[in-house]
């Protein structure tokens, strides 16, 4: 059995709900507390097993924002005791209060909990994602949802060149259609802009 996540970068809207659900579940679960330091201060920090990065790809007006959730990738051949080579989980998260390293557990205390209804034995992040951008399952089973969607959408590992064999897979954003850009500019604003442009290009 090879359990892991598939994350669809095409439908992720960067809402951070998965990160919050992860924090909430795990801080009160077997790996908790996940401590925070100065959470409302300028240099706030804390333990988050899942974080969302946001990137602007391409040039305006054909640019696209890509939201990139990152957690531990559950590498087959991991070298993460000291440093996470993918950079994906920013090393394991050091809990300064407990003095130990912690990371995504795939919510073991949910997925094996027989007290939960079967359809809820999934990670908290998967359960909570409003755009269904997260999938969980067994990559060793060719008929599992994660295997099927990875095959169909060409699921990719993050930084495979490092050789650590991350189990989690990402689905790339689809090509988006270019749409015309309408600029509502009155003649007088345009005249001022033209004048400024002429001035600065002298
Ligand atoms: S992503 Fe891989 S190397 Fe990094 S913490 Fe997870 S298992 Fe270890
Ligand atoms: S699987 Fe569980 S521990 Fe891992 S990122 Fe999702 S909610 Fe967090
Ligand atoms: S909850 Fe879903 S849509 Fe929101 S950031 Fe996480 S993966 Fe993306």
CATH of the domain at 59: 3.30.70.20
pLDDT in tens, 41-52: 998 888 999 999
Could you give the CA distance from residue 180 to residue 176 in angstroms, rounded to a whole number? 13
Greatest Cα pair distance in the chain: 75
84 lines ligand 3 (CB under 6 A): no
Q: Which helix (H) or strand (E) holds 104?
A: none
In the chain, beta strands by DSSP E: 3-8, 36-37, 45-46, 50-57, 64-71, 93-95, 100-102, 134-138, 169-171
In the reported structure, the alpha carbon of residue 15 is separated from the centroid of ligand 3 by a whole-number distance in angstroms of: 5
pTM for the model: 0.82
pLDDT at residue 33, as a whole number: 85
E strand or H helix at 55: strand 50-57
9 lines ligand 3 (CB under 6 A): no
Contacts of 39 by beta carbon, 8 Å cutoff, 6+ apart = 46
**Percentage of the chain exceeding pLDDT 90:** 58
- What is the C-alpha end-to-end distance of the chain, expressed in Å? 68
- Containing domain of residue 53, as a range? 3-176
Q: Which residues are within 8 A (CB) of 136 and not within 5 positions of it... i.e. 6 or more apart?
A: 3, 4, 5, 6, 106, 111, 122, 123, 126, 146
Give residue 25's Cα distance to chain centre: 17
Report CA(76)–ligand 2 centroid distance (Å): 18
User: How many structural domains does the chain have?
Assistant: 1
Tell me which DSSP letter residue 24 carries: H
* Rounded distance from Cα 164 to ligand 2 centre (Å): 20
Give the residue whose CA is nearest to atom 1 of ligand 2: 106
Evaluate whether 1 touches 138 at the Cβ level (below 8 Å): yes
Nearest to 147 by CA among 118, 171, 127: 171
The predicted pLDDT at position 89 comes to: 46
- Mark residue 159 as left, alpha or beta (left: phi above 0; alpha: psi -120 to 50; beta: remaining): left
Residue 195 domain flag: no
Task: Decide if 187 is inside a domain.
Answer: no
Confirm whether 129 is domain-assigned.
yes
* Structural domain contains residue 89: yes
104 Cβ closer than 6 Å to some ligand 2 atom: yes
Ligand 3 atom closest to the CA of 16, numbered from 1: 5
DSSP-assigned letter for residue 120: G
The mean pLDDT of 73-80, rounded to a whole number, is 84
Ligand nearest to the CA of 167: 1
Per-residue pLDDT at 175 exceeds 90: no
Report the nearest-CA residue for atom 2 of ligand 2.
107
**For 98-155, what is each residue's pLDDT tens digit?**
666 678 999 999 999 999 999 999 999 999 999 999 999 999 999 999 999 999 999 9
The rounded distance, in Å, linking the Cα atoms of 47 and 80 is 17
Confidence (pLDDT) at 90: 43
Contact between 121 and 107 under an 8 Å Cβ cutoff? The reply is no
Which residue has the least CA distance to atom 3 on ligand 3? 12
Is 186 inside a domain boundary?
no
pLDDT exceeds 70 at position 157: yes
Q: Would you say residue 110 lies in a domain?
A: yes
**Inside any domain, residue 67:** yes
Is there a domain that residue 119 lies in? yes
Query: Is any ligand 3 atom within 6 A of the Cβ of residue 67?
Result: yes
Measured by CA distance, the residue closest to atom 6 of ligand 3 is 18
């Amino acid at each position: 059995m090879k359990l892991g996540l598939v994350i669809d970068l095409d439908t992720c809207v960067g809402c951070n709900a998965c990160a919050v659900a992860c924090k909430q579940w795990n801080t009160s679960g077997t790996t908790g507390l996940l401590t925070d330091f100065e959470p409302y201060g300028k240099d706030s920090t804390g333990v988050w097993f899942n974080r969302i990065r946001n990137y602007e790809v391409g040039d305006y007006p054909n640019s696209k924002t890509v939201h990139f959730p990152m957690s531990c990738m559950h590498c087959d051949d991991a070298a993460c005791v000291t440093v996470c080579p993918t950079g994906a989980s920013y090393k394991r998260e050091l809990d300064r209060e407990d003095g130990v390293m912690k990371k995504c557990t795939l919510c073991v205390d949910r997925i094996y909990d027989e007290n939960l209804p079967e359809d809820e034995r999934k990670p908290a992040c998967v359960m909570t994602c409003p755009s269904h951008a997260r999938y969980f399952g067994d990559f060793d089973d060719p008929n599992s949802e994660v295997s099927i969607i990875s095959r169909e959408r060409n699921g990719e590992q993050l930084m495979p060149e490092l050789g650590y064999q991350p189990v989690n897979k990402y689905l790339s954003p689809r090509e988006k259609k270019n749409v015309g850009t309408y600029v509502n500019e009155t003649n007088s604003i345009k005249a001022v802009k033209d004048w400024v442009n002429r001035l600065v290009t002298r």
